[in-house]
Amino acid sequence: MSRPRDVSRGFGAGAYAKVGVESGVMSASSHQLIVMLFDGARTAMRAARIHMNEGHVAEKGASISKALDIVNNGLLAALDGERGGEVAGNLASLYEYIARRLLAANARNDVEALDEAERLLDDIASAWRDIEPQAAGT
């Protein structure tokens, strides 16, 4: 009988964590939301690497799909070409390249492509974090 209780506890903890994430998103600044996207993409790529190394094809694909979704529908979609000008254009090209590397990593179990995508995204995330004090002042 304790088994159903354990399941509900696990569900409750998951629901509590989801509420915590949703609350964080609701109270985050635009800058913090982008940082959260970078963190989510990094987490998904690291999970993909683990699944790739362990031969878990479906889980690897799901993790890479999550990273792709964040890059394409989060980071790339957040760019403002009018206000961002050349920088936004360059970032768009870089995000598109990262997406292609993620697709290659998935299709060929290419750890090097996954490493490159993660390294490039980490470089952008690092630069984004460096401007945080300036962003907070505006």
Identify the segments of the chain with pLDDT beneath 70: 1-27, 132-138
Beta-strand runs (E) in the chain: none
3-state helix, strand, coil split of the chain in percent (to 5) is: 90, 0, 10
Question: 5-14, pLDDT tens digit by residue?
Answer: 444 444 554 4
Name the nearest CA neighbour of 52 among 67, 30, 71. Answer: 67
* Radius of gyration from C-alpha coordinates of the chain: 17
Range 121-125, long-range pairs (CB < 8 A, 24+ positions)? 121/38, 121/41, 121/42, 121/45, 121/71, 122/42, 124/38, 124/91, 124/94, 125/35, 125/38, 125/39, 125/42
Q: What is the pLDDT of residue 52?
A: 96
Q: What is the pLDDT of residue 135?
A: 53
- Stated pTM of the model: 0.78
Tokens of 82: 């009018």
Tokens of 137: 């002042």
Please report, rounded to a whole number, the percentage of residues in the chain having pLDDT higher than 90: 66
Q: What is the pLDDT of residue 74?
A: 95
Q: What is the pLDDT of residue 132?
A: 66
Q: How many CB atoms lie within 10 A of CB 122?
A: 14
